[in-house]
Each structure stands twice: as structure tokens, then as C-alpha cells.
Structure 1
Amino acid sequence: MAENPILMIIPARPKDLGGFEVRRVLPFAKHRMVGPWIFFDHMGPAEFAPGPGVNVRPHPHINLATVTYLFEGQIQHKDSLGSDCAIEPGDINLMVAGRGIVHSERETVARQAMSRHLDGLQLWLALPEADEEMAAEFHHYAAADIPQVEHEGAVLRVMMGTAYGAISPVKTFAETLYVEGRMTAGAHVAAPEAAERGVYVCSGALEIAGQRVEAYQMAVLNPGAVELTALQDTHFVVIGGEHLTERHIYWNFVSSRPERIEQAKADWKAGRFDTVPGDDREFIPLPE
């Protein structure tokens, strides 16, 4: 019997981040990573009345890269390198923690004064072992710089890696795939190739190998050709890339070495990380 194209379905689980709920897909107990991707949060869709919304105080990361992508809304990113950047819908915000970085994610005072909508994805990439201790970097790519391909009822944005004949300008370390797709009902496309792949449905529903995949579910795919069919107007993303060695994760720290995480915990408690210029009056304490 031929292998089922779907290895497993991972449901998004609600996670409260202190007044703001996200849908967490990765890490999952039975499948912690998809290629180099080790963390996957769907932020929203959420409606905020005037007042506090997204207000994430300064916190540290090591040995990973964060990739923030908004469908709607705006977040102000600040970090210990001095970066101060508004993330707008369609932009790619790539923060490479390397040996260590601190950042905050907030909304401006002007946005807090209005009713607003937020929807987007916060993902983390594990860095290859050779790059884990590199110097921290920050890269911001405007929406207009991300290649887009249209194909018979499908609009596909190649955010990282290579797919559908397009090459993203976004910096990668391991072999990495990240594609956003929007399809009208009845449209279908082949899933892009990668050593490991996961297809997450943001809204709508897909049919994959005769199986229905609902909104807020990720289908982890086996290798081989797989077709994605929209059962209704559907918004989805595909993540994937090469398989990396085991990673350990604690709070905001990811590393191939558990002792490195212990060092980062001690460094954060002792105040040895750099601070965020203009946002250094508060921070998130290490969970005990």
C-alpha cells in the first residue's frame, strides 16, 4: 500500500500570553520540528478595543532566528542592536539571535488609542549548529520585495527559500521553505518540495490526499508529490526545509546544547544580556 501523504495532523492549541491568546502549533509533543522550524504561533485573528493589546516586554533569545509575518495589523519591533522597526502586513521581520539578543514587541500609543485587528504568524527557526553562536543580526524585508506567483486561482508568496520558480531574498541558514498561499474554492496547487514540510490552514479548508484539513490545523507531509485543493476560499502557509539535529527548548531559549541554555538562564537572571535602547525600564523575568 502506498504511504499516506499525510504523516500527522497537528491541531493548534490555545496559549495565553498574558491577556492575548495565540494558537500554538509547534513545538508539538509527537513532532517537535518541521525542518528547521521549531516554534509556530498563530497570533489572532484578534480584535482589540482601544487600550492595551500586544505589549511584549523585553525578553532574550539565543541560537535561533525569529520570523514575524503579519496578515493584518502592526507591531513595533525594538531590539538590543538598536533596531526600531514597524512590522506591516506582508513584511518579513527576521531577527537572528545567534549568541544572544533582547527584543520587545509592542503597539504604538497611536494604535492603542483605536479599535484594531491583528492577525499573523510568529515562527522560530533553529540555527544550524555552526551558526548558533554567530553575532546577532536584524533584517527587515518590505512586502514589495517578496516574490509572488499567481496560478489558476492561487496567489503564492515565496517568503523564504525557493518555490514555484521564485526565489525569496530573505536570508536563510539551513535549507528553509516558507510560502503563503491564498486559493479560491476549487483551486489546487502542488505542495512545494522540501525534505520536511508542514501545511497550516489559517482560514478555510484544504483537501490533501482525500483528507480534509481544517482551519488551525497543520498537516505534516511525508516526502513525495502532494496536491493541495481548496474546499472553500482558503488561506494557508507551507513551512519546511532540511532536518536538523535535536534541539532543546526552554522558554525563549533554543540550543543544540542543554548546557548553553543553562548559561543563558544564568545570564538573564544576572542581567548580562544587552538592553533594548529606549525600552530598558522593564523586562520579562526568567520563569522559575
Structure 2
Amino acid sequence: MEVKVLGVPTDFGANRRGVDMGPSAIRYANLVSSLEDMDLVVDDLGDIRVPVINNEANKEEAKFLSQVIDVCQELALIVSKIAKQDKLPVILGGDHSITIGSVAGMAQVKEMGLIWFDAHGDFNTLKTSESGNIHGMPLATIVGRGVKELVECGGITPKVKEKNTVIVGVRDLDKEERQLLKESEVTVFTMDDIDRLGIYKVMSQAIRIIGSQTAGVHISFDLDVLDPLEAPGVGTPVKGGLTYREAHLALEMIAEANIVASLDLVEVNPILDQGNQTAELAVELIASALGKRIL
């Protein structure tokens, strides 16, 4: 397997500063050497160039809409080139809005499924969002709902069909967002489901739902899906998340199923972290998703 690493150091979609430093923190935690130790061929392409602007100056209803679109358009272009070369893109965020670009690029090449690990649904539209922060809208955007300019980003609408989309680990939904998800064809496994069924059964069902219907699966992993005790360096922590071993088992099962076509890890915030703990965990999780085993 040949892996192409790409950083997207943006916080335009988020509600607090710091996640733009996520790619640097993950690299500092020895991402490339860790993957090379698995006998993977790794090419670090560096970071997409992101403009520096004054966050306080933004007046758009969907905050930093034009900047998010520009970043996602460029990301989609690069990811599609990687996918056409039969390489596996690993994208480092940055806030979760970047996944619009990640998935758009993959969708230009093949029909994709999507597993979305997150404490939040990210299924708001501009009509339902209380903040206007686009990192609360990317999943809705990817399946074709919301701001027209975002929905059409990358030239593919929808980028993934709702029936080929699974959320894992959600536990914090806005009222109207909850209703949108109930009315959709998206499969949602809440933390309550994981408590009752166990992560093995949940992931078995998730893989079965989308693994046979698509040409590949994009894994989007927001570190806040983990319990804050495991991953303190995230911008929007929510108590009661996945444990260390639950997260690893979920990604190990995905690797065993051989369905991963692309991967992103997002929302690592070094300003809020403790000794780069969350970035180091991100590296371990990427390794599990790409096939690392204990024995």
C-alpha cells in the first residue's frame, strides 16, 4: 500500500482557534515513521496553503463560507489525483469542514461509502445551525443538503448517498438536527447503541451496511468521538465517548474488511491538549485503520 499524507491546517469551520495546528501536531507525533514501520510506502505531500485572516472580521451567515469552499475545492482536486493513481490519501485536519473536500475528491473517482466517527451529527444546515459554524454542517453537505455552494463543491452532488452513510459514536445532537437525521436514510449508531450492543456488533453492522454497496469507503474520524479522558485536545469535547480500545477495535475491523479507500482525522487542537496526547493517539488510530495489529 502506498499512502499519501496531506495536511489541511484550517480552522475556518470551527468555533475556536487551534485546530489549524492539528496537522503539525500529528506529524510531530511521528506519523510518517510509524506508518513506515508497518512497511507502508509513505509520501508526505505537506500542507495545503491556507490564507491567514482575521476571524473577527467575518460577517457571512455561514461563517467563512468562501474560504471553506476554496480550501475544499483545492483539497478535492489533490485527493482525486491521488485516488486516480490508486494511492490511499490520509488527510490531516484541521476542522471537520475539510471532509467536504476529501469526500468530493474521492467521489470524482468512484462511488463511495462513508463511516463518520463523531460525538456530533454534523448534519445541520444553515437553517438549523445555531452558530453558523460550517464544521457542524459537513455531513449534511456531503449527502446533498444545505448551502448550495457547499453542496456543489467538487462538482459532485450528492458526494455519498445517504443509504451508504453511517455515523458511529454520536451523543450530542441539536434538536432540529436530530429530526433531520431521523428523516434521512443515514444509519446512526449512538453511544447508547454501543453501550447496549458493544462496538464489535455495531461495527459489524456498519461494515455490512456499506461495504458491499460501494467501490470504497472514506473514514472520517473526529477525535471528539473519544471520551475526553482519552483525547483532551479537541475543540468540542463531550463526556461519555469511545474508550481507547473501542476506537482501536473499530478501526482494526475496518482494516480487516479491506474497504478503506481514504481517511481523514480532524479536530485535533494542540492548544487544549496535554503533552500531545491526542495527536499521538491520532497516529495510533491511523495505524490501526491501515492494518497495524498486536500480533
Q: Same fold (TM over 0.5)?
A: no
Greater fraction of residues in strand: 1
- Bigger Cα Rg: 1
Question: Could you tell me the TM-score, scaled by structure 1's length?
Answer: 0.32
Greater fraction of residues in helix: 2
